[in-house]
Structures are given as structure tokens and as C-alpha cells.
């Protein structure tokens, strides 16, 4: 029998996905630009080799798949995707479908859907190599009829949360890749918030890495229970043979990034939707990369004080910051749904993120429940989360104050607190901005008393 699906790109993610597909009982035909990799992959597939058809040419790949075909691309985002589509397209029938499963920019996905006169899906896949191999979260974008053609396979390979598969069509055209980008933006912020709490424990409370790791392990039993806290605990507890000390202490403090967090920040600016915690996290990675400059400035301005704060307060502060960050992410998704005319459903997105992906956490199940009850509200106003915010905002405030007092940077937590304080202020300070704009640009303002529009100050008469 012919293969149920095809897959191009046997790198980290593609080979793991192909094995996952084969394991779930589907026959998958694979092709890779470098043929040696294809052979090596087939050799190492073990018992799963029975469900794998290794091919050396694109003609052979296409011929090996049952029509109408579906072929997954798992190659680096950007030009490689366009090159691969161009190479593949002449071999395909009109009904054959291409699925880009890499981290494409959603604008590229929309462009490809428009340019290509064939079914096309853009799906975001999260969970790293392990997720791809044993159950990723899959965020689909495109036509429901096209999604339906591959849904059984995608559901079979996806992560399950209490039996419910984390593979859903998020919305039309680029929606899947957009949701994946926002997922990654939230991931950046989640990681940064944890890193800031780690910094306070390390530099403000003089705690050793394994001790910090133990705290994270305790937190993983509570409201913060999540894959990223689990990951952070494992990283903090790891031992380095060479120095006979914590591995974390010998890891260079410059964060890498592939761009999805940056895309999220850029798109938020286009949409005019506030995501300051995610933006702070992207900026923090950029600052982390400036190591030589930081070393110079440390000599000139360095010196950090210890501070006095309980680890329990830090746990509550992290909980608070996390809720504020997710509130921003979901509000951004809602703004995007309006701007791009996508039928995004926050409850479906929250449910889809409960397992398989990097930001999976216990809290996402509560978020899904909150959005099921009220899809249009911000998380900050959802009763369950409003109560937690009320309970923990004092801890976030105390943590930011203590860190600022000691000279320790907490950009994401500070951004979360400033967001909260701005959004709970009925009378803000933008009346001054409007006055300034009218003064130098005659942009006009609205009066609070009469509601009269297009008003000008006395300076307009000059």
C-alpha cells in the first residue's frame, strides 16, 4: 500500500515527527535534501521502519504517497520553505496538499496560500524534539476542509490532555502560525519571569543553584506547576563534572533566539495591543547578548545589595506575573482575530496549550475554563484569576520594590506590575499627552465633562 502522508526535512523536528506518525500506525514517505540523512534515518527507525518509505528523489516521494496527497515540510522557516515548495510543486497533482509545519512567519503563510493554487496548511508545532516524537501541541491554520483531510493523523500524533487531543484548527490562513508565534512570545516571557526570580534568589538571597532547584521542584507541586518550572528545576539541580559544582554556574549568560518572540512583539506593535511583559522578555534576551558591554559597565557601575524577601513571596510574585503575561497574550490574540478576520477561540487555544507544548501548565486548564465561561473577557477580569491577582499582586509589588532597591534587574516583573497598575487606573495620565499633542500639533482633544470632540487649548488661538 502507498504511504498515508509524506514528510520532507529529516532534521531534529522532522525525523521525530516521522517516527511519531509511523508509531501511530500510519505509513509515511520521507525525503531529505541530503540523501545520506534519509538512509541513516531509515536504518535507525528499528521496528518502525515497516511504516517508513525512504525516498531519494522528489519524484519517488510523490509516487510513494496515496492521492490526494498531503506532504509535511519540516525545514527552516523562510527561504528554504519557498525553495522546497518550488522544487516540489511541479511533481504534484492539483489536489495535493502542502503543509508547512515549521515556525513560519504567518505573513509568509498567508502569502504562500495566496500564491499557490493548491491546498495549503500552515501548522505550528510545539514541544521541541521530544514533543514532536511523543506528542506535540499542533496549532493549525487554513481551510477546514483541508484540515479535515489530515486531522486523523494530526490528532493521533498530538499530545493529549486527559484524553483531549492538543491538535486543533485555530483559524483561517496564517492563524496557526500566528498562534504558535504568540505561544513562543509567552514562552519567552514565562522563561524570563522564572530567570528573574532565579536572579533574586542567586544574587539577592545568596542561594546556591541546587537550593533554588529544590524550591522550583516544590513550586511544581502547586499553582505554578508547569513544564517550564520543571525544566528550570532540572537545570538548576544539574551537576557539572568538570567543576564539581552546579552546571548552571558555568553556562554563559547570553540567551539565543530564533525570532518568534521578536515577531510577536513586532506584530503586537502593528496591532496596537499591549504585551509589555513579552516585549520586556525579548529586550532582556537582547541585553543578555551584550556581554562585553555589560562586563565594562559592571566595572563602572557594578554593585548589587542583598535583599530581604521570602521565597514564598517570590512564588506568589511569579504566579501574579505569569497571569498578567498570559492575559496580555490572549488579549493580543483577540485583537489579531479582529484585524485578520480569524475565528480564533481563546478557550480552544488555551485547551490546545494544556499538553505537548513548552508552555503547558496546570494553569492553562483553568484559563480554558475561564474562557469557556466568558470568551470575551480578559483573564484579569475572569473571577478565578481576578481572585488570584488580588491575592498575589502585593507579592509582585514587594518583589519589584525589593529588587529595585537592591539594584537587581527585573524587567519582565516590572512590566507586569506597571501593566496592572496602568490597567486598573480609571483616570490615567494621557490627558497630558493629548494636551501636549494639541499644543504642538493641534491634534485636538475630547472633554471629559461634555464629551465634545476636537477641542483645542487656548494656544490654538496664537
Catalytic residues, which ones? 180, 187
80 binds ligand NDP (CB under 6 A): yes
CA angle (37, 124, 329) in 5-degree steps: 145
Q: Which is nearer to ligand NDP, 101 or 201 (CB)?
A: 101
| Cell reading at 89 | 510543486
Q: Which is nearer to ligand NDP, 36 or 426 (CB)?
A: 36
Q: Which is nearer to ligand NDP, 353 or 385 (CB)?
A: 353
75 binds ligand NDP (CB under 6 A): yes
Alpha-carbon distance of 354 to 22, in angstroms, equals 24
Among 3, 5, 7, 10, binds ligand NDP (CB under 6 A): 10
Site for ligand NDP in 258-297 (CB under 6 A): 258
Alpha-carbon distance of 37 to 42, in angstroms, equals 9
Q: How far is the CB of 358 from ligand NDP (least distance, A)?
A: 8
Alpha-carbon distance of 372 to 459, in angstroms, equals 51
11 binds ligand NDP (CB under 6 A): yes
33 binds ligand NDP (CB under 6 A): yes
Q: Which is nearer to ligand NDP, 15 or 392 (CB)?
A: 15
Applying CB under 6 A, the site for ligand NDP has a residue count of 24
Question: Given the rule CB under 6 A, which of 7-15, 156-164, 171-179, 422-430 is the region that contacts ligand NDP?
Answer: 7-15
Question: Given the rule CB under 6 A, which of 28-36, 149-157, 316-324, 370-378 is the region that contacts ligand NDP?
Answer: 28-36
Question: Given the rule CB under 6 A, which of 22-30, 70-78, 153-161, 385-393 is the region that contacts ligand NDP?
Answer: 70-78
User: For the chain, how far is it from start to end, CA to CA, in angstroms?
Assistant: 84
**Residues in contact with 407: Cβ distance below 8 Å, sequence separation at least 6, in sequence order:** 303, 304, 305
84 binds ligand NDP (CB under 6 A): yes
Site for ligand NDP in 112-131 (CB under 6 A): 125-126, 128-129
Contacting residues toward ligand NDP, per CB under 6 A: 9-14, 32-34, 37, 74-77, 80, 83-84, 102-103, 125-126, 128-129, 258
Amino acid at each position: 500500500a502507498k504511504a498515508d502522508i509524506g514528510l520532507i526535512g529529516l532534521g531534529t523536528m522532522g525525523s521525530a515527527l516521522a517516527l511519531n506518525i509511523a508509531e501511530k500506525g500510519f505509513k509515511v514517505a520521507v525525503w531529505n535534501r541530503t540523501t545520506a540523512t534519509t538512509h541513516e534515518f531509515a536504518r535507525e527507525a528499528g521496528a518502525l521502519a515497516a511504516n517508513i518509505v525512504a525516498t531519494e528523489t522528489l519524484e519517488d516521494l510523490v509516487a510513494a504517497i496515496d492521492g490526494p496527497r498531503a506532504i509535511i515540510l519540516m525545514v527552516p522557516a523562510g527561504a528554504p520553505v519557498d525553495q522546497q515548495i518550488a522544487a516540489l510543486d511541479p511533481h504534484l497533482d492539483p489536489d495535493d496538499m502542502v503543509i508547512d509545519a515549521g515556525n513560519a512567519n504567518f505573513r509568509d503563510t498567508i502569502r504562500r496560500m495566496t500564491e499557490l493554487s493548491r491546498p495549503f496548511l500552515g501548522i505550528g508545532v510545539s514541544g521541541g524534539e521530544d514533543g514532536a516524537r511523543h506528542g506535540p501541541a499542533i496549532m493549525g491554520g487554513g481551510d477546514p476542509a483541508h484540515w479535515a483531510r489530515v486531522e486523523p493523523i494530526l490528532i493521533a500524533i498530538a499530545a493529549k490532555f486527559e484524553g483531549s487531543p492538543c491538535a486543533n484548527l485555530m483559524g483561517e490562513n496564517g492563524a496557526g502560525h500566528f498562534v504558535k508565534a504568540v505561544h513562543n512570545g509567552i514562552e519567552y516571557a514565562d522563561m524570563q519571569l522564572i530567570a528573574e526570580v532565579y536572579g533574586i534568589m542567586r544574587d539577592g538571597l545568596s542561594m546556591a543553584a541546587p537550593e533554588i532547584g529544590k524550591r522550583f521542584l516544590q513550586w511544581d507541586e502547586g499553582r505554578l506547576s508547569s513544564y517550564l518550572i520543571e525544566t528550570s528545576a532540572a537545570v538548576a539541580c544539574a551537576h557539572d563534572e568538570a567543576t564539581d559544582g552546579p552546571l548552571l554556574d558555568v553556562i554563559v549568560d547570553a540567551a539565543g533566539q530564533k525570532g518568534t518572540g521578536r515577531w510577536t512583539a513586532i506584530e503586537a506593535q502593528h496591532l496596537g495591543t499591549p504585551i509589555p511583559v513579552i516585549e520586556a522578555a525579548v529586550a532582556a534576551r537582547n541585553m543578555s547578548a551584550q556581554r562585553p558591554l555589560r562586563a565594562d559597565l559592571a566595572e563602572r557601575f557594578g554593585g548589587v545589595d542583598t535583599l530581604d524577601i521570602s521565597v514564598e513571596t517570590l512564588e506568589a510574585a511569579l504566579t501574579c506575573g505569569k497571569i498578567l503575561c498570559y492575559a496580555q497574550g490572549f488579549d493580543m490574540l483577540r485583537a489579531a482575530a479582529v484585524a485578520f478576520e480569524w475565528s480564533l477561540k481563546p478557550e480552544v487555544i488555551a485547551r490546545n496549550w494544556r499538553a505537548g507544548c513548552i508552555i503547558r501548565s496546570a494553569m492553562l486548564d483553568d484559563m480554558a475554563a475561564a474562557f469557556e465561561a466568558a470568551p470575551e473577557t480578559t483573564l484579569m477580569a475572569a473571577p478565578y484569576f481576578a481572585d488570584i491577582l488580588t491575592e498575589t499582586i502585593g507579592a509582585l509589588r514587594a518583589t519589584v520594590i525589593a529588587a529595585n532597591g537592591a539594584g537587581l534587574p527585573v524587567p519582565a516583573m516590572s512590566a507586569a506590575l506597571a501593566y496592572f497598575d496602568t490597567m486598573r487606573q480609571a483616570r490615567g495620565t494621557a490627558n497630558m499627552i493629548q494636551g501636549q499633542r494639541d499644543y504642538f500639533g493641534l491634534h485636538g482633544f475630547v472633554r471629559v465633562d461634555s464629551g465634545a470632540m476636537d477641542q483645542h487649548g487656548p494656544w490654538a488661538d496664537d
